[in-house]
Structure 1
Amino acid sequence: LARGLAVIPKNHWEEDLPRIIREHQVQLLVVGIPKTLDNQEGSQVKIILGFMEKLREVTGCSVTRWDERLSSKLAERYLLSADLSRQKRKTIINRLSAQIILQDYLDYQRPPSYPQKEAEEM
Protein backbone atom coordinates (compact mmCIF):
# COMPACT_ATOMS: atom_id res chain seq x y z
CA LEU A 1 0.00 0.00 0.00
CA ALA A 2 1.20 3.51 -0.80
CA ARG A 3 2.57 5.50 2.14
CA GLY A 4 1.58 8.97 3.22
CA LEU A 5 4.32 11.53 3.82
CA ALA A 6 2.63 13.92 6.20
CA VAL A 7 -0.66 15.28 7.44
CA ILE A 8 -0.82 18.96 6.61
CA PRO A 9 -3.12 21.22 8.64
CA LYS A 10 -5.71 22.96 6.45
CA ASN A 11 -4.57 26.42 7.51
CA HIS A 12 -0.91 25.75 6.55
CA TRP A 13 -1.13 23.78 3.32
CA GLU A 14 -0.14 26.68 1.04
CA GLU A 15 3.19 27.00 2.88
CA ASP A 16 3.83 23.36 3.79
CA LEU A 17 2.85 21.53 0.60
CA PRO A 18 5.27 23.32 -1.79
CA ARG A 19 8.12 22.61 0.66
CA ILE A 20 7.22 18.91 0.87
CA ILE A 21 6.93 18.73 -2.93
CA ARG A 22 10.43 20.21 -3.34
CA GLU A 23 11.96 17.98 -0.66
CA HIS A 24 10.53 14.80 -2.18
CA GLN A 25 10.69 15.87 -5.85
CA VAL A 26 6.97 15.23 -6.33
CA GLN A 27 5.89 15.44 -9.96
CA LEU A 28 2.18 14.67 -9.72
CA LEU A 29 -0.58 15.16 -7.15
CA VAL A 30 -3.53 12.74 -7.19
CA VAL A 31 -6.83 14.12 -5.89
CA GLY A 32 -9.79 11.89 -5.07
CA ILE A 33 -13.08 12.76 -6.78
CA PRO A 34 -16.22 11.56 -4.97
CA LYS A 35 -18.51 9.56 -7.22
CA THR A 36 -21.74 7.77 -6.49
CA LEU A 37 -22.04 4.03 -6.97
CA ASP A 38 -23.69 4.65 -10.35
CA ASN A 39 -20.58 6.61 -11.49
CA GLN A 40 -22.10 10.09 -11.12
CA GLU A 41 -19.96 12.85 -9.67
CA GLY A 42 -20.96 13.79 -6.13
CA SER A 43 -22.06 17.21 -4.95
CA GLN A 44 -18.56 18.21 -3.76
CA VAL A 45 -16.91 17.89 -7.18
CA LYS A 46 -17.08 21.60 -8.12
CA ILE A 47 -15.36 22.52 -4.86
CA ILE A 48 -12.70 19.86 -5.40
CA LEU A 49 -12.06 20.97 -9.00
CA GLY A 50 -11.53 24.51 -7.71
CA PHE A 51 -9.13 23.17 -5.10
CA MET A 52 -7.24 21.25 -7.79
CA GLU A 53 -6.75 24.48 -9.72
CA LYS A 54 -5.47 26.18 -6.57
CA LEU A 55 -3.08 23.24 -6.02
CA ARG A 56 -1.67 23.74 -9.54
CA GLU A 57 -1.17 27.47 -8.91
CA VAL A 58 0.41 27.13 -5.46
CA THR A 59 2.63 24.11 -6.13
CA GLY A 60 3.41 24.32 -9.86
CA CYS A 61 2.77 20.56 -9.92
CA SER A 62 0.62 18.55 -12.28
CA VAL A 63 -2.64 17.50 -10.62
CA THR A 64 -4.84 14.61 -11.70
CA ARG A 65 -8.19 13.38 -10.48
CA TRP A 66 -9.00 9.83 -9.42
CA ASP A 67 -12.24 8.10 -8.50
CA GLU A 68 -12.31 7.77 -4.72
CA ARG A 69 -15.46 5.64 -4.64
CA LEU A 70 -15.45 3.19 -1.75
CA SER A 71 -11.97 4.20 -0.52
CA SER A 72 -13.37 5.20 2.89
CA LYS A 73 -15.34 1.95 3.16
CA LEU A 74 -12.25 -0.07 2.29
CA ALA A 75 -10.16 1.91 4.79
CA GLU A 76 -12.74 1.27 7.49
CA ARG A 77 -12.74 -2.45 6.67
CA TYR A 78 -8.92 -2.53 7.02
CA LEU A 79 -9.14 -0.76 10.36
CA LEU A 80 -11.92 -3.01 11.65
CA SER A 81 -9.83 -6.06 10.80
CA ALA A 82 -6.97 -4.49 12.79
CA ASP A 83 -9.35 -4.37 15.77
CA LEU A 84 -8.87 -0.65 16.45
CA SER A 85 -11.25 1.28 18.66
CA ARG A 86 -13.83 3.55 17.02
CA GLN A 87 -11.94 6.67 18.16
CA LYS A 88 -8.62 5.46 16.70
CA ARG A 89 -10.34 4.48 13.43
CA LYS A 90 -11.85 7.94 13.17
CA THR A 91 -8.46 9.63 13.40
CA ILE A 92 -6.81 7.33 10.85
CA ILE A 93 -9.53 6.85 8.21
CA ASN A 94 -8.82 9.94 6.05
CA ARG A 95 -5.11 9.20 5.88
CA LEU A 96 -5.70 5.56 4.99
CA SER A 97 -8.34 6.53 2.40
CA ALA A 98 -5.80 8.83 0.73
CA GLN A 99 -3.27 5.99 0.65
CA ILE A 100 -5.85 3.70 -0.96
CA ILE A 101 -6.70 6.32 -3.61
CA LEU A 102 -3.00 6.75 -4.45
CA GLN A 103 -2.39 3.00 -4.56
CA ASP A 104 -5.39 2.51 -6.88
CA TYR A 105 -3.99 5.20 -9.18
CA LEU A 106 -0.50 3.67 -9.16
CA ASP A 107 -1.88 0.19 -9.82
CA TYR A 108 -3.85 1.52 -12.78
CA GLN A 109 -0.74 3.20 -14.23
CA ARG A 110 1.38 0.05 -13.93
CA PRO A 111 1.56 -1.95 -17.17
CA PRO A 112 0.04 -5.42 -16.88
CA SER A 113 2.51 -8.16 -16.08
CA TYR A 114 2.24 -11.47 -17.85
CA PRO A 115 3.63 -14.79 -16.68
CA GLN A 116 6.84 -15.65 -18.57
CA LYS A 117 5.27 -18.44 -20.65
CA GLU A 118 2.28 -16.31 -21.60
CA ALA A 119 4.56 -13.41 -22.57
CA GLU A 120 6.63 -15.68 -24.84
CA GLU A 121 3.49 -16.80 -26.69
CA MET A 122 2.46 -13.21 -27.47
Structure 2
Amino acid sequence: MAKVLGLDVGDATIGVAVSDSLGWTAQGIMTIRRRNVNTDLSSLRKLIREHNVSEVVVGLPVTMNGRPDGQTHKIIRFVSILHEAFHLPIYTWDERFSTIEANKALDAGKVNRKKRAEVIDKIAATIILQGYLDNKNEKLAVLEG
Protein backbone atom coordinates (compact mmCIF):
# COMPACT_ATOMS: atom_id res chain seq x y z
CA MET A 1 0.00 0.00 0.00
CA ALA A 2 1.05 3.59 -0.58
CA LYS A 3 2.51 5.71 2.19
CA VAL A 4 2.44 9.38 3.18
CA LEU A 5 5.64 11.43 3.28
CA GLY A 6 5.92 14.19 5.90
CA LEU A 7 8.31 17.12 5.51
CA ASP A 8 9.59 19.82 7.86
CA VAL A 9 11.11 22.25 5.37
CA GLY A 10 13.61 24.83 6.56
CA ASP A 11 16.12 27.05 4.81
CA ALA A 12 19.05 24.68 5.52
CA THR A 13 17.42 21.27 6.00
CA ILE A 14 14.34 19.18 5.29
CA GLY A 15 13.26 16.77 8.01
CA VAL A 16 11.62 13.68 6.53
CA ALA A 17 9.16 11.17 7.97
CA VAL A 18 7.11 8.42 6.36
CA SER A 19 3.92 6.65 7.40
CA ASP A 20 3.43 2.93 7.71
CA SER A 21 1.53 1.36 4.81
CA LEU A 22 -1.78 1.56 6.69
CA GLY A 23 -1.42 5.29 7.33
CA TRP A 24 -1.54 5.03 11.12
CA THR A 25 1.95 5.86 12.36
CA ALA A 26 4.76 8.19 11.35
CA GLN A 27 8.45 7.42 11.58
CA GLY A 28 11.30 9.87 11.09
CA ILE A 29 13.71 8.61 8.46
CA MET A 30 16.26 11.31 7.68
CA THR A 31 17.28 14.94 7.41
CA ILE A 32 18.19 16.28 3.99
CA ARG A 33 20.82 19.02 3.87
CA ARG A 34 19.54 21.54 1.35
CA ARG A 35 21.78 22.68 -1.49
CA ASN A 36 19.42 23.84 -4.24
CA VAL A 37 15.91 23.06 -5.45
CA ASN A 38 17.02 20.48 -8.04
CA THR A 39 19.07 18.54 -5.49
CA ASP A 40 16.18 18.74 -2.98
CA LEU A 41 13.76 17.39 -5.59
CA SER A 42 16.15 14.61 -6.58
CA SER A 43 16.47 13.47 -2.96
CA LEU A 44 12.72 13.61 -2.44
CA ARG A 45 12.01 11.81 -5.72
CA LYS A 46 14.21 8.93 -4.58
CA LEU A 47 12.37 8.70 -1.25
CA ILE A 48 8.97 8.85 -2.94
CA ARG A 49 9.92 5.90 -5.14
CA GLU A 50 11.59 3.88 -2.36
CA HIS A 51 8.62 4.23 -0.01
CA ASN A 52 5.80 4.05 -2.58
CA VAL A 53 4.48 7.46 -1.51
CA SER A 54 1.00 8.51 -2.65
CA GLU A 55 0.78 11.89 -0.93
CA VAL A 56 3.00 14.43 0.81
CA VAL A 57 2.37 16.58 3.88
CA VAL A 58 4.47 19.70 4.40
CA GLY A 59 4.58 21.57 7.69
CA LEU A 60 3.25 25.11 7.23
CA PRO A 61 4.80 27.69 9.55
CA VAL A 62 2.48 30.43 10.73
CA THR A 63 2.66 32.94 13.55
CA MET A 64 1.24 32.03 16.95
CA ASN A 65 -2.02 33.77 16.04
CA GLY A 66 -2.28 31.69 12.85
CA ARG A 67 -1.27 34.37 10.37
CA PRO A 68 1.18 33.85 7.53
CA ASP A 69 4.67 35.34 7.63
CA GLY A 70 7.69 35.35 5.30
CA GLN A 71 8.50 31.71 5.97
CA THR A 72 4.88 30.73 5.23
CA HIS A 73 5.16 32.18 1.75
CA LYS A 74 8.47 30.33 1.11
CA ILE A 75 6.82 27.04 2.03
CA ILE A 76 3.78 27.71 -0.15
CA ARG A 77 6.12 28.30 -3.09
CA PHE A 78 7.98 25.08 -2.27
CA VAL A 79 4.68 23.16 -2.09
CA SER A 80 3.83 24.45 -5.56
CA ILE A 81 7.22 23.23 -6.85
CA LEU A 82 6.65 19.81 -5.24
CA HIS A 83 3.22 19.47 -6.82
CA GLU A 84 4.54 20.40 -10.24
CA ALA A 85 7.52 18.02 -9.95
CA PHE A 86 5.75 14.97 -8.52
CA HIS A 87 2.09 15.27 -9.58
CA LEU A 88 1.00 13.96 -6.19
CA PRO A 89 -1.45 15.43 -3.70
CA ILE A 90 0.58 17.83 -1.54
CA TYR A 91 -1.03 19.04 1.69
CA THR A 92 0.09 21.54 4.29
CA TRP A 93 -0.24 21.02 8.03
CA ASP A 94 0.04 23.63 10.78
CA GLU A 95 3.49 23.13 12.31
CA ARG A 96 3.27 25.80 14.99
CA PHE A 97 4.13 23.51 17.88
CA SER A 98 6.11 20.76 16.14
CA THR A 99 9.55 22.08 17.08
CA ILE A 100 8.43 22.70 20.68
CA GLU A 101 7.10 19.12 20.89
CA ALA A 102 10.28 17.78 19.28
CA ASN A 103 12.43 19.62 21.84
CA LYS A 104 10.28 18.28 24.70
CA ALA A 105 10.76 14.73 23.41
CA LEU A 106 14.52 15.26 23.16
CA ASP A 107 14.61 16.77 26.66
CA ALA A 108 12.74 13.74 28.02
CA GLY A 109 15.27 11.48 26.33
CA LYS A 110 18.16 13.57 27.66
CA VAL A 111 19.57 14.00 24.15
CA ASN A 112 22.70 16.18 24.09
CA ARG A 113 23.02 19.36 22.00
CA LYS A 114 25.11 17.84 19.21
CA LYS A 115 22.79 14.88 18.68
CA ARG A 116 19.75 17.16 19.03
CA ALA A 117 20.86 19.27 16.07
CA GLU A 118 21.15 16.11 13.96
CA VAL A 119 17.63 14.82 14.69
CA ILE A 120 15.38 17.79 15.51
CA ASP A 121 14.08 18.29 11.95
CA LYS A 122 13.38 14.58 11.48
CA ILE A 123 11.45 14.52 14.75
CA ALA A 124 9.52 17.67 13.80
CA ALA A 125 8.60 16.00 10.46
CA THR A 126 7.38 12.97 12.40
CA ILE A 127 5.19 15.16 14.62
CA ILE A 128 3.77 17.01 11.61
CA LEU A 129 2.99 13.76 9.79
CA GLN A 130 1.52 12.07 12.87
CA GLY A 131 -0.80 15.04 13.44
CA TYR A 132 -1.98 14.84 9.84
CA LEU A 133 -2.50 11.06 10.02
CA ASP A 134 -4.39 11.28 13.33
CA ASN A 135 -6.69 13.96 11.90
CA LYS A 136 -7.28 12.00 8.70
CA ASN A 137 -8.03 8.78 10.60
CA GLU A 138 -10.39 10.56 13.02
CA LYS A 139 -12.39 11.90 10.08
CA LEU A 140 -12.54 8.42 8.52
CA ALA A 141 -13.72 6.92 11.81
CA VAL A 142 -16.54 9.47 12.03
CA LEU A 143 -17.62 8.70 8.45
CA GLU A 144 -17.53 4.96 9.09
CA GLY A 145 -19.16 5.12 12.54
Same fold (TM over 0.5): yes
Paired residues of 2:29 and 2:122 also in contact (CA < 8 A) = no
* 2:40 match: secondary structure: helix
Equivalent in 102, 115, 131 of residue 104 of structure 1: 131
Shift of 1:84: 1.1
Cα offsets for 1:25-83 (capped at 9, x unmatched): 21111011112221212321111111001111222221001000110011000001101
1:58 to 61, 85, 91: 85
Count residues in correspondence.
115
The equivalent residue for 1:6 is 30
1:78 aligns with 2:105: yes
Give the match's secondary structure for 1:61: coil
- Identical amino acids, percent of aligned pairs: 33
- Give unpaired runs (5+ residues) of structure 2: 1-24
Partner of 1:20: 47
Could you say which structure has the higher helix fraction?
1
User: Which has the larger Rg?
Assistant: 1
The structure carrying a bigger strand percent of its residues is 2
Cα distance in 1 for residues equivalent to 2:123 and 2:94 = 15
AA at the equivalent of 2:51: H
Q: Distance in 2 between matches of 1:23 and 1:104?
A: 23
Q: Unmatched 5+ residue regions in structure 1?
A: none
Say if 2:31 and 2:121, in contact at 8 Å, map to a contact too.
Answer: no
Question: Contact between 1:17 and 1:59, CA under 8 Å: does it hold in 2?
Answer: no
Tell me the alpha carbon deviations over residues 9-28 of structure 1, each in whole angstroms, 9 at most, x when there is no partner: 32322222222212222111
- TM norm structure 1: 0.83
Give the SS at the match of 1:66. strand
RMSD of aligned Cα (Å): 1.9
